[in-house]
Amino acid sequence: MNTKEIEIPMAKLKLGVLVGSNRRDSINRKLAEALAKLGAAAFEAKFIQIDDLPMYNQDNEQPVPAAVARFKAEVEGSDALLFVTPEHSRSIPAVLKNAIDWGARPWGKTSWPNKPAAVTGTSPGLISTAVAQQHLRAVLGNQGLHLMGGEAYIQFKTDLVDAQGSVADESARTFLKAFIDQFAAFAGRFVAAEKRQAA
pLDDT in tens, 153-182: 999 988 899 999 999 989 999 999 999 999
Q: Please answer whether residues 123 and 155 qualify as being in contact, where contact means their C-beta atoms are separated by less than 8 angstroms.
A: yes
**Is 50 exceeded by the pLDDT of residue 192?**
yes
What is residue 109's predicted lDDT score, i.e. its pLDDT?
A: 97
CATH of domain 13-198: 3.40.50.360
What is residue 7's predicted lDDT score, i.e. its pLDDT?
A: 41
**Other C-beta atoms lying within 10 Å of the C-beta of residue 88:** 17
The CA distances from residue 126 to 30, 129, 155, 164, 194, in Å, are: 19, 9, 6, 25, 40
What is the rounded average pLDDT for all residues in the chain?
Answer: 92
- The Cα 155–Cα 94 span in angstroms is 22
Q: What value, to the nearest 5°, has the Cα angle with vertex 192 and ends 190 and 194?
A: 70
List, for residues 144-160, the tens digit of each pLDDT value.
999 999 889 999 988 89
What is residue 88's predicted lDDT score, i.e. its pLDDT?
A: 94
**Is 90 exceeded by the pLDDT of residue 195?**
no
What is residue 61's predicted lDDT score, i.e. its pLDDT?
A: 96
pLDDT category of residue 84 using cuts at 50, 70 and 90: very high
Residue spans of alpha helices (H) in the chain: 27-38, 66-76, 94-103, 130-142, 170-198
- DSSP class of residue 44 equals E
Q: What share of the chain is helix, strand, coil (3-state, %, to 5)?
A: 40, 15, 45
pLDDT category of residue 4 using cuts at 50, 70 and 90: very low
pLDDT category of residue 123 using cuts at 50, 70 and 90: very high
**Other C-beta atoms lying within 10 Å of the C-beta of residue 165:** 11
**Is 70 exceeded by the pLDDT of residue 8?**
no
What is residue 10's predicted lDDT score, i.e. its pLDDT?
A: 64
Q: What is the mean pLDDT of residues 139-147?
A: 97
Domain boundaries, the chain: 13-198
- DSSP class of residue 169 equals S
Q: What is the mean pLDDT of residues 54-68?
A: 97
What is residue 1's predicted lDDT score, i.e. its pLDDT?
A: 36
Determine the 3-state secondary structure of 101 from DSSP.
Answer: helix
- The Cα 86–Cα 193 span in angstroms is 32
**Is 70 exceeded by the pLDDT of residue 125?**
yes
Q: Is the link from the previous residue into 54 a cis peptide, with omega within 30 of 0?
A: no
- The Cα 130–Cα 23 span in angstroms is 20
Determine the 3-state secondary structure of 91 from DSSP.
Answer: strand
What is residue 2's predicted lDDT score, i.e. its pLDDT?
A: 41
- The Cα 82–Cα 52 span in angstroms is 19
List, for residues 27-45, the tens digit of each pLDDT value.
999 999 999 999 999 999 9
Q: Give phi and psi for 126, each to the nearest 5.
A: -65, -35
